[in-house]
Amino acid sequence: MRVFLSSSIGVACAAALVLPLSLTSGAVAAPQDARAGSPVPGSTESLPLVPLSSERSSGVATEQGLSKRDVHPFSLVGVVWDDADEELHGSVQVRNRSAGTGTWSRWQRLETHNAEHGADRGTSERESGTVRGSTAPLWVGASDGVQVRVQAYEDPDAGPEARPGRPPLPHGLSLELVDPGEAPEQLPVTEADASRGETVAADSDSDDPATPAGGESGTGADPAPGTGPGGGTGPGNGTGTGADPGTAPAAKPYQAPRPKIVSRQGWGANEKLREREFGYTKTVKAAFVHHSATGNNYTCKQAPSVIRGIYRYHVTSSGWRDIGYNFAVDKCGNIYEGRAGGVTKPVMGAHTLGFNTNSTGIAVLGSYSTVNPPAAVTRAIAKLSAWKLGLSGVNPKGKVTLISGGGNKYKKGRKVSMNAVSGHRDGFVTDCPGNRLYGKLGTVRVSAAKYQGRS
């Protein structure tokens, strides 16, 4: 698999990936934000799980966890283990104590993921030696107490001689408690704040594809919309050519307006956390839609905190080079820049195992297996995918061919025909992005094509 690496000043770099923070247990000190010149609050506390019960015949632990305990303040929780290729066949449940009320929550289940997210096998990110297995993180809000239990499932494929038929739990299980902190700059506000005269970060509600939409800039020297990875025009990325000198070039057909995108600075990304270099693929043929599985118990003003929590969890707990998604969308329809490298560029993400090459990942913050996504969400996905795919001349209603990097659905090297706007489950056997969100993707494709000016 071919990935193009460049530094922030555009110099090619082939050095091995080295994460700036160790993954040892214990609290991770809040790093300094070189851009702002002041401490950035936030931390990760790692608590190794202990055996709670085991099988008598083998002594293998079938349940691990932690009893109720006081902990440092946190708002997002997840469980990680040593081997990213080892699957967790079991259930992971947590309870948290609210820092505001002192009451304990009910047991909540974490999505186990089972290696469906992350960098493709064989890439420098995946082979860095820092990547760990992980559940999806869960947003629980400000908390200061926690309890967790991880239970192995009975193996339905085990024969009668297998007792008790439960696969062992992965080695090195630990509970990750993430405090996302507060960004030093003014955070974006939602449409509900417009009455107070504040700037609205949500994209325009207009469904007119001809209505221009401005936006926050991407990270670093992000070229203007319609330019290629190197900042100049290129196939499928630039404006039309052949115009007479002194006249404006003709707009490339079927390109959608750029929606408003909250930059990494806007949601408070601490750039000291991530890997320094950027990773690029050749182009963007497809957009994979996800849900973050972090739950829906957040307000849209908390969305930047949720993203900072996911970012810290992906990097310091899971060992990824950066947040895995290229973009995030909150339940109010606000769009956020995800992985660094420039929103107009073909940034290599870690969102759909086996199909990160030549694709972009859009994650809706929340869980949409049994809850319908708001109309603002599907509208935002349509606008974002129309614009992003339009930079490469891709029809959102069309089919594209991708080459699998390997996974549980398609073998490595297989050519796969997919919708240009697909769900995570189209490339990997998973429930993501949830049945309710997945069921809306047909409408998203139609709307996205209209935003591009297609019939």
Q: Which pLDDT value is given to residue 205? A: 36
State the pLDDT confidence band at 165, using cuts at 50, 70 and 90.
low
Whether residue 194 is predicted with pLDDT greater than 60 in this model: the reply is no
For 393-427, write each residue's pLDDT tens digit: 999 999 999 999 888 888 899 999 999 999 999 99
Contacts of 4 (CB under 8 A, 6+ apart): 12, 229, 279, 280, 281, 282
Please give the model's pTM, rounded to 2 decimal places: 0.78
Measured CA to CA in angstroms, residue 353 lies from 227, 263, 349 at distances of 28, 25, 10
CATH for 191-451, options being 3.40.80.10, 3.30.70.20, 3.30.1130.10, 2.60.120.620 = 3.40.80.10
Whether residue 27 is predicted with pLDDT greater than 50 in this model: the reply is no
Q: Mean pLDDT across the stretch 122-130? A: 84
Least confident residue range of 20-29, 176-185, 333-342: 20-29
For 76-95, write each residue's pLDDT tens digit: 999 999 999 888 989 999 99
Q: Which pLDDT value is given to residue 283? A: 97
Q: Which pLDDT value is given to residue 207? A: 38
Q: Where in the chain is the domain with CATH 3.40.80.10?
A: 191-451
| Residue that is written with structure tokens 């923070």 in the block | 21
Q: Mean pLDDT across the stretch 244-256? A: 61
State the pLDDT confidence band at 182, using cuts at 50, 70 and 90.
confident
CATH of domain 26-179: 2.60.120
- 120/339 Cα distance (integer angstroms): 15
Q: What is the mean pLDDT of the chain?
A: 79
Least confident residue range of 39-48, 62-71, 280-289, 312-321: 39-48
Q: Where in the chain is the domain with CATH 2.60.120?
A: 26-179
